[in-house]
Structure 1
């Protein structure tokens, strides 16, 4: 039976990297029986950039009409277009977007039902341990929303009642009530660190795709997190309201220079906050690993106070700062050169 895999990308779980690898390796995946549908909405991913996946339109069609990004009024047409694409391929189908995870569980159920007659529908998710998810949310606010608060200020009003998506067992249990003819696939993103093919390899293992390692595209580093030193720098720079492109440049140059690592945990959450968060989610995580992840509970560990980094205490090494700004200036110079060539 044809599999229809709908990848619901949770925040900071390698979604952009997976989308880039599928978009750039589309022809090769077809040879192995998997069709990352060419919907024409992920051109950025084909060029190695951050996109919202080939399911961008479909996901928005199943968002509540009140959501500013909703395409609910076009739901029927977009669904029919996707159904035709699924019907016309002999391969298993992969559709991905982070917007799927942003919609309601009843609407995800409706989405799954709309394709259930065409094959076996699977809703695929990666999750992150809640303290790292909170840190990732904070870093994303720095990169995309000009956040200038320090971690303790950002997390001071943390309310578990407002974090329903982090209550993984409850989230997937409720979702299961809304889907009759679909499967829920869920794994902890952290397992990607030990997978030879990284996050893409973990995803393929989760959906049961047996593709040789040598046939997989190179693991892409997109939407990375800055190092603690660069986080402190961006907090200061954000006070001057820079464009989003500035933070992207800093992060890309950071990885290229070896100052950050794709899987390195940023231990910038105060230990007392981290302990509180772990305690709040302890039972949820126990049940999630038993009922859905079906693997060892890798979130059941103690907070390591010794590795905590207080961003207020981070100092700026002159050599690193020269390297950062030299890289930024060089990148800006190249952009200016391209602009001049366009004008001429």
Structure 2
């Protein structure tokens, strides 16, 4: 093995889809001399579940004891397991994936690099990014879908956007590159990558090993964004504190009956809020695009041109039947 690629997300950038697809197609990846190690939450990914990837435990052990997701590994058993996988692998490139790698402190990144140096393996970071307002909208939808939020998007985004450190993409990436060395960070635009002829997987593999004409496996659709009417319905339903299983079922039906779309939909965010967010990050985005984005991966400049105000959406009887009908029928059966 010559390289270890840490796929660090970012969160809300298709990581679950990549992790599921890589777990399900590990043998085919090995034919390309890519090894998605069967450790961490590999089996969950192979079953098609939303996971934190095969690098979940490694990354969590590097978070620091104050982090809520920290995983204590005093005997370094996880690193011993990873070392064995690297040494025994027939592949030239290893892949370790978890969004938690986005959150590890710099001193932990130094530890990870030292681990790779001692094995004679070059460490590289890989992640997707999306325009900050789109990232925040995806986070908002997750709060509505799974965490019972009854806020409208402007309230959530205006209260959070300045506090998410990695959204300063240039500074964040420059700090990683300071540790790993020039050219050892690969960054792609999520919205460009998912439009690749072979989806995010094709874009990922192409970025790592070059042209991927021989990629045959299909991309998995793991997470979807509800329609504006469904988001409004969920906001109303969240007043009754439903379980996440209830709202997950609504979203699954949304995908099943073609009401939902893959990827973030942020037309429900007020254009003034979009502009406020993008103005705040404009200097970072300009520097980032100049140094780290490959050609054709720059952020688009459209701001919510088809804006729909959730407050103005009316839920009619037909909408109730369309949104809740499949769930009610299933519960009855």
Fold match by TM threshold 0.5: yes
> Is residue 2:175 matched to residue 1:171?
no
Q: CA deviation at 1:331?
A: 4.4
Matching residue of 1:338: none
Matching residue of 1:327: 326
Q: CA deviation at 1:182?
A: 7.8
> Is residue 2:20 matched to residue 1:20?
yes
SS in 2 for 1:11: coil
Count of aligned pairs = 331
- Show the 5 A alignment for 1:1-344: 2-39=2-39, 41-74=41-74, 76-91=76-91, 92-116=93-117, 117-158=119-160, 160=162, 162-180=163-181, 183-212=184-213, 215-263=215-263, 265-296=265-296, 298-299=298-299, 301-304=301-304, 306-332=305-331
Structure 2 portions without partners, runs of 5+: none
* C-alpha separation in 2, matches of 1:29 and 1:148: 43
Per mean C-alpha deviation after superposition, the further-off stretch among 199-208 and 55-64 is: 199-208
C-alpha deviations, 1:212-232, integer Å up to 9, x for none? Answer: 35x432211112221111111
* C-alpha separation in 1, matches of 2:72 and 2:193: 34
* C-alpha separation in 2, matches of 1:168 and 1:321: 41
* C-alpha separation in 2, matches of 1:98 and 1:333: 38
Q: CA deviation at 1:75?
A: 6.6
Query: Contact between 2:225 and 2:265, CA under 8 Å: does it hold in 1?
Result: no
* C-alpha separation in 2, matches of 1:243 and 1:108: 37
* C-alpha separation in 2, matches of 1:156 and 1:263: 22
Per mean C-alpha deviation after superposition, the further-off stretch among 86-95 and 37-46 is: 37-46
* C-alpha separation in 2, matches of 1:179 and 1:331: 52
C-alpha deviations, 1:170-194, integer Å up to 9, x for none? Answer: 1011122223498111111111243
TM-score (norm 2): 0.92
Query: Contact between 1:289 and 1:296, CA under 8 Å: does it hold in 2?
Result: no
TM-score (norm 1): 0.89
